[in-house]
Amino acid sequence: VRLEDWLLSETQADFVPRDVYRDRDVHDAELRLIFDRTWQFACIANEVSAPGDYLNVTIGDQPVVVVRGKDLALRAFINACTHRGALVTDHRKGNCGSTMKCMYHAWAFDLTGRLVGVPYPDAYGPEFDKTDHALAQVRCSEFGDLVFVAIDPLIDDLVTYLGEFGPRLFDYVDGIEAIGRNAWIYEGNWKLWHENFRDNYHPEFTHRWIHDVMARYADRGGNWACRPGHSVLQWVDVEPDFLRYTANLERKGGIHVPVAGLPQAEQRLPPELIWEVLASFPNVDYQPTPLLALGDVPSGLNKTGFIQTVTPLGVDRARVELIVYSQKGESADDRRWSLRHLADGQGSWGKVSGDDTEAAERVQTGLRGRSTDVNLFSRGRAPGDGGADVNPRDEYSQREFYRVYREYLRAPRGGR
């Protein structure tokens, strides 16, 4: 299969040429045509809450700083000094006071990006005008408590970008605050990580722990494409036997659920309990965790979970950033519980993330082999199947990802 033919084809992507995971030209095109032209998750609003608070993020290969202004508005800039290009903020995050001052020759920019300080300016001559040297601003937009940035000024606004996916996401991410971050690097293409969070075919095999606690967890639910490019993976009624579930949770997961102390009505999993993993194009997944909230969290159910982004570092290397969140105003005890249990499963050392990291690295290594030249994403796509009847292990959402992926790679800059 020639990569060019696949990219130009208009039909749904039942398969993906393996060159998309190993071709350097594809990688370069992804940075400019996808990462520059999509809304990219940067942080949760409370991570930059006071005037002068900033956070550095990398969008594709672009250094971006998100900063809270004196007017409390959030703004984002390419983090590159207009003098000779050095980063203008130190460290990962912090508070810069009223200016971002470059460490190299001390040019200083205010919180709206204007150049306000130049040491010994006279040598530049009378024509020198500080207003010509402001930081390059990029778009910054909030959705619930999430903060997104976009490098390309011409793309659709964030709500249009999220489309039908937006309302599915909103309740999960409104009223939350970040309580911790963790990042790690794996030796594999960035898309392997993102695909994995649209993939409901692997968990019972890859994650023995999930299988042990809820053996039939993927029998009911769905795996839907949410146009354009997003997805919702859902599990319903994961374990009819609550006592078996809590016993397994304790034995295999170390999570104690004080069943005896619960009111009778709560000594079972609500049958309508819905557990979802959502993903937005091209590189974010959202994992609210209602099941964990049934454990020994001191004050009961809350909004807690984590969000992951993946950033390419080449064709066969990528960085995962994981942000654990909780409901705003939660007690210190609840927060400790959320951090302990979420970080236990996910994160560079997590039970679940460790399995997925292993899978991504094995895939990337195998992909070097010159054997079959495509990866298959055809589950749930019998001939003539329109996609109405979705099985949780089907692959509609991965196909939607690659449909939109090809649209981006085909479209000339600025005109999608």
- Is residue 286 involved in binding ligand FES (CB under 6 A)? no
- Considering the rule CB under 5 A, would residue 285 count as an interface residue with Fe ion? no
Site for Fe ion in 339-358 (CB under 5 A): 356
- The reply to whether 405 sits near ligand FES by the rule CB under 6 A is no
109 binds ligand FES (CB under 6 A): no
Residue from 2, 70, 84, 216 that binds ligand FES (CB under 6 A)?
A: 84
195 near Fe ion, rule: CB under 5 A: no
Q: How far is the CB of 359 from Fe ion (least distance, A)?
A: 7
Q: Considering the rule CB under 6 A, would residue 105 count as an interface residue with ligand FES? A: yes
Binding range to ligand FES, per CB under 6 A, among 15-23, 79-87, 128-136, 293-301? 79-87
Contact between 104 and ligand FES (CB under 6 A)? yes
Tokens linked to 306: 């984590």
**Binding of Fe ion by 276 (CB under 5 A):** no
What does 243 interact with, of Fe ion, ligand FES, none (CB < 5 to 8 A by kind)? Answer: none
Site size toward ligand FES, by CB under 6 A: 9
> Which of 278, 308, 279, 273 minimizes the C-alpha distance to 292?
273
Identify which range of 8-16, 103-111, 202-210, 221-229 contacts ligand FES by CB under 6 A: 103-111
Residue 362's binding partner, choosing from Fe ion, ligand FES, none, with beta-carbon cut-off 5 to 8 A by kind? none
- Smallest distance, Fe ion to C-beta of residue 279, A: 12
Q: In the bound complex, what is the minimum distance in angstroms from residue 140's beta carbon to ligand FES?
A: 22
Three-state DSSP class for residue 223: strand
Please choose which of Fe ion, ligand FES, none residue 356 contacts, taking the beta carbon within 5 to 8 angstroms, the exact cut-off set by kind: Fe ion
Query: Is residue 83 a contact point for ligand FES (CB under 6 A)?
Result: yes
Interacting residues toward ligand FES by CB under 6 A: 81, 83-84, 86, 102, 104-107
Interacting residues toward Fe ion by CB under 5 A: 356
